[in-house]
Structure formats: C-alpha cells, structure tokens
Structure 1
C-alpha cells in the first residue's frame, strides 16, 4: 500500500493495480486535504468510496475540487452508497471517460448535493443511463427541484444508453428497513420516476448552464414537452449549444420555449440524421404568426442533416440581428434563402390558406 499520502493535495493513480478502493486502501480518514484526484488505466479498480468497509462517508473528500476517471473497465460505482450532503462538497469538475460498467455517476442523497459543481464531462461510457440519480427516500424530496446552481458546462459524448441527465428513485415503504444499495439495474423494490425520452425533466434546474455539448447520444428530446415556461427560464444563460450525431432527435426547441434562450450565441447541429426541424410546433398558438428572435446568435452551423426541411413547420418570421457566421452544408431538403415569401406576411386573410407551410431557413429581409 502507498504510504505517507494522507496530506497530499494532488493524487494521480496510473496503473496502480494494488488499489481497488481509494478511500479504504489509501486513507480511511477521508483524504481531508486532497483537492485533485485522477485515477486511470486500472483494470481492477472498483470504486472511490465503499461504505461496506465502514469508512464514514460524511467525511469523504471534503475539499476535493476535481475528479478525473479514465479507462477503468471494472468501475461500477464511484460510491457504493448514496452520496451524503457533506461528501465531495467542494467538487467543481467531474470527468469520466471509458468506464463502461458505470450506469450513473453518483447516487445523491438529496437534491442539494454537489453545490459547487461547475463542469461535467462524461465520454465513451457505453452503459451510462443517467448522469445522476437522486434518492427520493421516503417522499422527503418529492416536491423539491434538483438544482445544480453552479453548473456551467455539460459535455456528453458516446453514451448510447443515456436516457436522462438526472432522475429520481423512490423506495417503496416496505423497503425502508432494508440496507441494500442500488445496483446497476435498479432492484425490484425501486421505481424510477419522471422517465421520459427527454434529457432534462421538470425537476432539473440548471440556472447557470452556459455550454451544452452532446455527441453520439440517443435521446429523442433535449427538453421535456410539458415543462412550464418558468422551467425553460432555468436555461436562460445558455450561450453554446453543440449537437452532433444524435440520430433520434427530431427537433431542438419547441415554439413555447424559445424566449428563454436570449443569451445563445453559438448554435451548431451536425450529422443528426433524424432531425426534421429546428423548432417544433409544441406549445405554439395557432392564432398568432410566430416570430422567432435569436438576439445574440453570432454563429450558426448546420451540416449533415439529410431530413432537415425547415426552421419551423409553418408560417413564421425569424430575426438574427447578430449573425456573423452561417454555414449550411449537406442539408439537401432545405432551402436556405428566399425573399419572395416575405410578401406573404402582408397577404389578406383570404389568401392565407394558399401560403405554403414550408418556408426557407431565412427570409432575406429578416436576417
């Protein structure tokens, strides 16, 4: 066993095959001074914290700021039990890559865990189903929001089984006396709540998220259709949205939510083969001609979208006053520019049924 490391601030374990459990094997007192932990290339590594070893979880890694896990083929859980509010309280950055046995990153004990988390990157983990699972133990947090108030960057790549950013697990009453921990496949006495095809459900609040990048993720929707307007405002600080090779996406935004993205500056959508439109009619008022305004978008890139037909599947106007860079390639079914349709906006009521539903991406007068 390694000796004399209980006071280190930076610890990198590379091919350390004698270490299977960081907390139990190296420092049972919880690494009270460790700020950065990097573990990689260990075929036998099992977990960071294993509560079965009777190490007090409340004191685990109290000032750890960054956690980097790479190529740990047997890692099934970072913590073998739910994460307490005190553990990892200063954690700012999580990066997990090539950890194929993980089904989620943390099982949180409450919605207010990880209060300082700023950046998450989860890459090439083929069995990840959720990033976080919140234990809604005994209905204690049923009406609370799951808030990550400091999270600014979220990068998700090559996660074919991902279904949700964060879901809640609620134990049935008869399971209260049991002390079994969650396994990779949630056991029969647990029910996942709020399951949908959307990455973000109605309980997740990411009020300061600035960057969202997704590559090779099989979700059908980014945002849940039924989210109230107030919840869409939780994404109002998003400045960069980059989507690549997400084949099940049919659209990006719904009509009812677009006013929430006033700070969006960079929008890039590439090789999403099922994408048919950028904005869907979900939540649209059929009595009003919609006007979509992207006040701060300076860069728009669309490429490799063979099914893309339009910005919005109906008559509308759009405004891009700050646009400086536009790149559209390999989008064979969409017309990029047109000026003739602008006159339709001024047509009489009796003419409106003859207006074609599909418009080009841009009317020149409104770019």
Structure 2
C-alpha cells in the first residue's frame, strides 16, 4: 500500500472550498506495518506522512508504527486547527524518520498530553527548539499540556530538547518520564526544564550508556542551584555506567515525597565520599567545596522523609551507604531495603542507622562479597539513647562469602529483634553462628 486515500475516491470524504480533505469526526487513527507507504494521500510522493491538504480537527489519538519509507510526519505548514486536539501520540519502529516535533508543531500540538517514541533509529532530538526564531509567536504556549513522555530504544538520540527552551516553552505539567535504551544521550534535561518539573511524579532512566548527568550544567553558573521535585514519588536509575552526578555543579536536590528509589549499575555515581578527591571525581570541576553538598544521594544534607523502599544494586565502587550523621527524620519511614551485588561495600547497618531505620521491616542483602557483619552493634556507646525494638520482620542474606556475624555482638539491652518472622540465610560460607543468645530468645514470632 502506497497511500491511505487515493485522489480518485475523494467523493467519499468531505472536501472544502480550498480542496482540503477533512476528516471532521475522526478521533482515533492507527497506521501499522505499512512498509511501502509514501504518504496519506496518493497525490503526494514526498515521504511526508501527512500532506498539508489533510485536516484532522478532532483527532485525539494517533499511533503510527513500522513505516520504514517515511522520513517526516508533518509538512512544513499545517492547515489551521488540524491536529489541534491531539492528546496521545505514539511513534514507533521507523528506520528513516529524522524528526518528530519540529518547531512549527510545538504551537499546533498544544493539547498533547502523552508522547511515546520507540525504536526510531535515526531520531537525534525530540523537541526541536532551535528553529523557533519568533519567540513572541510561541510564548503563548509556554505551559504545554504534556503529562507523560516515554522515549525507548532511540540509539542516535543526542538531545531530548535541542536547546534550553527557557522563555519559549515550558513542560511544567509533566508527571511521568521514562527514558531507556538511548545510547547516545549524555544528559536528559536542560536546566530550565528540570526547574519547572513541579508536578513530576515518576522518573525512570534505564540502559543509557553515555548519560553523564541528569540535568545539563548551565555554562558559567557557579552558584548553588536548587532542584526541587515536590511531587516526585518514584526515581529509578538503572544501568547508566557513565553517570557521575545529578548535576555537575553545586546543587541541592529536594524530593520530599520520594517513596521508591532504585539505583543499579551506576558505578561512576559517587554517592558517598569522605575527601576532596572523591568530590572532584564526582563533579568533574575540581572545586574546593563542601564534600557533602556536591553528592547525589545520602549525604548529610539529603533528606528523604517519606522514602519507603530503597534498592541499590551493582555499584562496585561504593564502600559505604550512609554518612556518619543524617538529618533528623531522613529515611525514618524506610520499610524495604535491598542491597545486592556490591564488591567493595563493607558496611550495611552501622550503629547510627539502627535508630534511624526504626520502621525497616524487610532487609535483603545479596552477593556483597566484602560484608563481614550486618548489624554493627559494638560502636553504640549511649545505651539509653538507642534502646529500641527493631521493626524488622524478614531478613534475607544470600551469597555473602565473607560474612562472619549477622550481629557483631549480642545486642542485649540495646535493641531487640522480636518482630522477626522470616529468616533466610544461604551461601554464607564464613558464617559460624547465626544468633546471639538474646536474639534467639526473643524470636517469639519467627515462622520460617
């Protein structure tokens, strides 16, 4: 099939006085697996899907998939009100498509809420901002309606935004962003976009081999930048081997409602540090600054008061998870902690964290080859201050070859583990004894 509408059949559709072909009532359009399609109309052979003569004034959903011959979706100029009600746009499996949203479409798609682009191997940018020369013309769509953005398997994608759109257009209503398999992408957000994401609830970035920072650093900016995500509940950073920091300048990151955090295979992300050298490696700037201030997660000044689930995996450079001192109430609601596949991590729960993680119910530690103990008790000097009943209900310790003690000493009179219901320990070849006496005596709720 080379066209959807042949010109000789135009009597079946409405044609207005300007010879435009109007689909006045069409609300949903799906075009799939049309490998030889040259355009929507047979009279046009320009490899542009929608010719300027086609009008969709009420189209709300558009899905186009597997059309290798197409190089462009939109013409340079659309008829007024065409696509103006489009809310959902899915573009997937295009080999030669080079452009998704040219600057002329930013104004047209003012009601677009959900955008998904998948497996388009020639796409280098999503939002083409630099071609917008008339700032005054586009300023009235400064608040786009876009709610979700999903970019998957775009191997040549270099920029989500071709330039910082500050003063031209904002994306303040974005709530969910997922980016995966974009192997040429080095950063995700321009600074102005990141600062405007006050409604963002979910951010997931996976399998992007070249990403070095989440937010691109503004040139010439040396002051501390505040990034505030007041609605962010889920943050996933997975398999980002070049990621060094959230932002490679001085910054403060605030996520007061963050509920779920997953970090894995981000080995260059120096979450913790204890000297200037580690900070220089993190931010790449070599500035003599406060060590904690330039760290991404879990520094003394980072607060996650509502975090309930934390997973950190496959980060061989990490030696410690927590700093010596945390801000009050940080991690105080954490219920589920999973730590796995660390080569150099030597410490999981130092004494200062036993009181902080007072709501921790489920603890899993897997394949951490340097761990020698789980609950570090011996450094607790103020018995009265830390006396408590641990909330831990399940404990899973797997493949900890150097583990010698689950508890570094008998915690009698300091902390009890009476709520434990399930314990699983295997592959711990150096472990000789599991329970200190006081722990074993208190296991009245243990079921398996």
TM-score range (shorter-chain normalised) is 0.5 to 0.7
Residue in 1 that maps onto 2:96: 127
Q: Secondary structure at 1:306's aligned position in 2?
A: coil
C-alpha change, 1:324 and 1:242, in structure 2 (3 Å) is same
TM-score by length of 1: 0.66
C-alpha change, 1:203 and 1:249, in structure 2 (3 Å) is farther
1:155 maps to 2:116: yes
C-alpha change, 1:72 and 1:320, in structure 2 (3 Å) is same
1:1-12 equivalent positions in 2, closer than 5 A: none
Q: Which moved more, 1:102-111 or 1:243-252?
A: 102-111
C-alpha separation in 1, matches of 2:140 and 2:242 = 32
| Contact 1:250 1:276 survives alignment (8 Å) | yes
Question: Which structure: larger Rg?
Answer: 2
Residue in 1 that maps onto 2:84: 115
Residue in 2 that maps onto 1:294: 229
| Contact 1:148 1:205 survives alignment (8 Å) | no
Structure 1: which 4+ aligned runs deviate by more than 6 Å? Answer: 201-206, 338-341
1:1-367 equivalent positions in 2, closer than 5 A: 20-24=2-6, 27-31=9-13, 57-79=19-41, 80=44, 83-84=51-52, 87-107=55-75, 109-110=77-78, 112=80, 113-131=82-100, 146-165=107-126, 194=131, 207-217=144-154, 218-228=156-166, 230-233=167-170, 235-282=171-218, 285-286=221-222, 288-336=223-271, 353=288, 355-356=290-291, 359-363=295-299, 365-367=302-304
Q: Secondary structure at 2:247's aligned position in 1?
A: coil
Offset at residue 66 of structure 1 (A): 1.3
C-alpha separation in 2, matches of 1:277 and 1:166 = 19
Offset at residue 298 of structure 1 (A): 0.2
Q: Aligned-pair RMSD on alpha carbons? A: 3.6
| Contact 1:220 1:248 survives alignment (8 Å) | yes
Offset at residue 120 of structure 1 (A): 0.7
Gaps of 5+ in 2: 133-137, 280-286, 305-448
Residue in 2 that maps onto 1:10: none
Gaps of 5+ in 1: 1-18, 33-50, 136-143, 169-192, 196-200, 345-351
C-alpha change, 1:92 and 1:145, in structure 2 (3 Å) is closer
TM-score by length of 2: 0.55
Q: Secondary structure at 1:326's aligned position in 2?
A: strand
Provide the aligned length of Structure 1 versus Structure 2.
Answer: 280
Offset at residue 254 of structure 1 (A): 2.9
